[in-house]
Amino acid sequence: MTLPQNLPEIVAADVSGPEPLRFPLEWIITNGSPPVQYRAIKSVAMLADAAERLPSIPLAYFPGLRLAVSQRIDGTWNGSMLEIPSDGARKLDDAIGTIPAVHRLLELGYDPDFPPFLVARRTLFRLLAEDNDPAYLFELGARGTGADYRRYGRRRLREAAAAVLARLGYESDPRLRGCANRMVQRVRDFLQSPLAEDPWVRIGNKHAISPDATPPSVSLLVMLAHMPLYRHENHEFLKELREYLIRPVGQKEVQQQVGDALLPQPQLVLGDPLTGRSAPTGDVATTLFWLETLARLGLMQTHEAWGQAYELVVRGCDRDGIWRASRGGPPRAPSLCEAWAMYPLDARRDADAVSAEVTTRLGIIARAAGREVELA
């Protein structure tokens, strides 16, 4: 066999990954609050020689201690579950519900064995069972009536409780696993139905998603993000979920009929969370929440647009790897319950404090996505 004289040049494929993320640890230790220092050391730098003194760092931050001691004797914060402070709230601990309070304390660096968590878990586990006691609707009980609304309220609280229990490390608990199985099955049934392609119906003169539609919620995604073994056991579902999450989203407001009322459903995810009406355009904090959640799910690196969204935020870093706010000022606090707990961890709003916090979050996402981090 005679080979042709002019063979085309073979160009090696570029299999190199992204450049290592430059992480200015020393600068963050100097300028960040104790919770930010803790996350930088533990979650990004992963310094083994600092392990012994790590648990004491969050205790040096007074707002976290104040939030912890504001827990009621029944294990709740303010007798509510999902409340988050409004922008005008003067004191964080007077307006926060139990689930965002636990999320926030975990973000601040408190250990899952912290006593307030052990007191709160009794109520959280009871929510998994969708208790028929009206008292276990908490603040949702005052916002609606009827059997449909009560079912909706119990389901929403159950999913939010499952997410925070997963973060507390109860992945192997059969109560959480049973709840996770039911949540996953409801979403799988939705993904395999025609409603996944078009969940919208017209109710009066408004568009809303069908009462029969059960798309994934923010709480479901956060729960799965913190249950790695469960994700491995349900890898086929993760593939279906990924295909759903990369779909572009329209501009319609997400509402759903519950009983006789149309209720906003910002916690439901109808496709790519970084596009569409609910996309966090210009909202750095919510963008980082979604990128971290997708990275922990093992999905961020599987979709080019999500990687580009991360790189867009990284481009806001200076030559030392420090993220700097644009002219619009510091990022605003997110409005989603689980996302609100992530930011701001530092009560100070000066430029360096904000930069230290966002830079640390970029490092956390890089680690979760398997990207190399270069300490500086």
Given this model, what pLDDT does residue 1 score?
A: 47
Span 212-229, pLDDT tens digits: 999 999 999 999 999 999
- How far is Cα 36 from Cα 58, in angstroms, rounded to an integer? 9
pLDDT value for 280: 64
For 189-218, give the DSSP string. Answer: HHHTSGGGT--EEEETTEEEE-TT----BH
| pLDDT for res 14 | 41
Strands 373-375 and 206-209: unpaired
Helices (H), 18-97: 25-31, 34-39, 62-69
Strands 373-375, 255-258: pairing kind: unpaired
Model confidence pLDDT, tens digit, residues 324-339: 988 767 788 888 889 9
Closest Cα to residue 125, out of 174, 92, 85, 82? Answer: 174
The whole-number pLDDT of residue 179 equals: 98
Q: How many whole angstroms separate alpha carbon 253 and alpha carbon 266? A: 9
What local confidence, expressed as pLDDT, does residue 15 receive?
41
Cα atoms in the Cβ-side hemisphere of radius 13 Å centred on 124 = 30
Q: Which of 204, 167, 159 is nearest to 184 (CA)?
A: 159
- At residue 299, what is the residue type? L
Question: What tokens appear for 284 in the block?
Answer: 């750095």
Q: What pLDDT does residue 329 have?
A: 73
What does residue 169 show for φ and ψ, rounded to 5 degrees?
95, 20
The pLDDT assigned to 277 comes to 58
Separation of alpha carbons 250 and 88, rounded Å: 31
Distance (Å, whole) CA 84 – CA 318 = 33
In 3D space, the residue among 344, 111, 200, 94 whose CA is nearest the CA of residue 102 turns out to be 111
Nearest Cα residue to 160 out of 199, 124, 119, 108: 124
SS3 (DSSP) at 276: coil
What CA–CA distance (Å, rounded) separates 262 from 253? 11
**Can you list the residues of the chain whose pLDDT is less than 70?**
1-17, 87-94, 276-281, 328
What are the residues facing 183 on neighbouring strands? none
State residue 97's pLDDT score: 96
Could you give the CA distance from residue 108 to residue 64 in angstroms, rounded to a whole number? 7
CB 328 within 8 A of CB 271: no
